[in-house]
Amino acid sequence: MTDSHSESGIPLKPVYGPEDWDASRYASSLGDPGQFPFARGPRPAGGGRRGWIQRELSGEGDPERSNQQFHELLAKGQTGLDVIGDAPTVALLDPDHPLARHAIGTQGVSLCRLDDYRALYRGLPLDRITLSHSLPPLFVIAALHSVARERGVDPAVLRGSVVQAPYYCEDTGYALGMPFALRERMSVDSIAFAAREMPKFHAFLEDTYYISDGGLDAVEEMALGFVEIRGLIRALLARGVAIDDFAPRIAILVNCRMDVFEEVAKIRATRRLHARMLCDEFGARDPRSLAVNVAAHTSGMSLTAQQPVNNVVRGTIQALALALAGVQAIEISTFDEAYRTPSPEAHEVALRTQQILHLESNVTKVADPLGGSFFVESLTDELERRIDAMVRSIEAQGDAASLAESGFFRRLFHDAMERHARAIDSGALPKVGVNCHQVAPEDDTLLREVTATKIEPYRGRVAELEQHRRSRDAGRAGASLDALGACAADPRANLTPAVIDAFAAGATVGEMAGVLRTVYGASADAFGAHRAAG
């Protein structure tokens, strides 16, 4: 085996030339930025905003602590917000669930009722900033819509996004304990609702970051992403939503590993594939439906627990790749990623990295600076071909529901995890400080103290929630949950208004999720055995 292949295994030549890319195909295969097929970028060069939205992943502890974190990040010059829930919140468990107790607020913010969202967004200019959420979409859209209205902000002006992860969440890190049909419905309903009520908000943010950061390569990442995008599009069309009513707010949140040119080419290929699929297969005509926004997180998996300072360098290289690819938003996974959600120090370093790249390096002045490179164009073509072929191959094996239920996707994720581990073990994937150039643990001290500082679980949330359950109008909360159940039983109804009503009545996300699971034939507590055992 030679070293001459990309991280996803595409063979590489020592040098590329005119035989590798035919410039006469410029108009059909590239086009200028802002022109079909949008390989060079979704927007025309030179006009309007230059650069990207700079944001760092935030959210820890209770909503008040996270709100404080938002204000600190905005004060440091962050231009958008990016919030993730703690593990129970993302799994739709209330903090008083037996499984949740030691995980409350440690890896994200704990949110389970409307009061929490009120506190989370307190004092933020909702009409002027973009709010990106790695949180359960149906509940975020309902809560954000409610809080905006309470504050006199028209939901139609809200900007930002929420990740949709219905197909793969059970097999990766976002398990909900819900059947496929319910997961898909929650996505479809929230996207359809937002298309009407929050038309500037990207309610359809395909998240290929989280599915791929267990070890999928760039081709697998985007193939699975497109399988989910295409599946959700078909489901929305089947619900009678017109393609150009929601497709302008499809965006993709991708991963960025260490292979600089492959990641750039992947993003360019993704924009082109998206445009072609939306145009040729789904009949979209609005140019905004064809020109997909791409946001990115730099790969947490590429970072190391050893010599954490090296992760600053990795994040910089990855962010440069993303800037060269012309993405719309960047989040750099911080140097303490292997141990914890970002510390204030790590946030600051990552944000300053983005600012230096943006302001000092001149990379924002010219759009798609690698366009026309024999190598990058050849790699873009090859990635597009491989991603498209894998999408067709997966779709030929069955619909997403049966592939998910049969364990097809789970096997794919597990195979990738094993492959990645072998590549690190064998040294095939070099990792400085891990499989080469290691230092002794006792000498590995730089930034160590910051990295290992822990967040205690916010167990006070349990008592707060008990108090909330006691003080609310139990009759009203119960009636709102019954209404949500009735709504869920009607396949033509949209769940979002019923969730908005239930939030207003003081119901919690855990309670709502329980009702939804029951209607779909699952156990109300997806982790019921644990309640008895605990």
Binding site for another protein (CB under 8 A): 86-88, 91, 93, 98-103, 106-107, 172-175, 214-215, 301, 304-306, 338-340, 414, 417-418, 420-422, 425, 433-434, 438, 441, 452, 454-455, 457, 527, 529-530, 533-534
Beta carbon of residue 425, minimum distance to another protein (angstroms, whole number): 6
Displacement of CA 240 from its chain's centroid (Å): 26
63 or 177: CB nearest another protein: 177
Rounded to whole angstroms, the Cα distance separating 165 from 342 reads 23
Beta bridge partners of residue 130, listed in sequence order: 80, 159
396 or 532: CB nearest another protein: 532
Residue 293 parent element (H or E): strand 293-298
139 or 413: CB nearest another protein: 413
User: In which order are the strands placed within the sheet that holds 329-331?
Assistant: 53-54, 329-331, 293-298, 250-256, 201-207, 159-164, 130-134, 80-84, 57-58
Beta carbon of residue 226, minimum distance to another protein (angstroms, whole number): 23
Beta carbon of residue 246, minimum distance to another protein (angstroms, whole number): 29
146 or 304: CB nearest another protein: 304
43 or 65: CB nearest another protein: 65
**In this structure, which amino acid lies at residue 387?**
I
313 or 439: CB nearest another protein: 439
Beta carbon of residue 431, minimum distance to another protein (angstroms, whole number): 10
Place of tokens 């063979």: 11
107 or 255: CB nearest another protein: 107
DSSP-H helix ranges across 54-166? 63-75, 87-90, 114-120, 137-150
Beta carbon of residue 399, minimum distance to another protein (angstroms, whole number): 25
Rounded to whole angstroms, the Cα distance separating 235 from 229 reads 10
Beta carbon of residue 107, minimum distance to another protein (angstroms, whole number): 6
Rounded to whole angstroms, the Cα distance separating 161 from 406 reads 31
Beta carbon of residue 304, minimum distance to another protein (angstroms, whole number): 7
Q: Quick one: three-class SS letters along 178-205?
A: CCHHHHHHHHHHHHHHHHHHCCCEEEEE
Rounded to whole angstroms, the Cα distance separating 466 from 449 reads 36
4 or 406: CB nearest another protein: 406
Beta carbon of residue 534, minimum distance to another protein (angstroms, whole number): 5
DSSP class of residue 523 equals: -
The count of C-alpha atoms lying within 13 angstroms of the C-alpha of 309, restricted to the half-sphere facing its C-beta, is 7
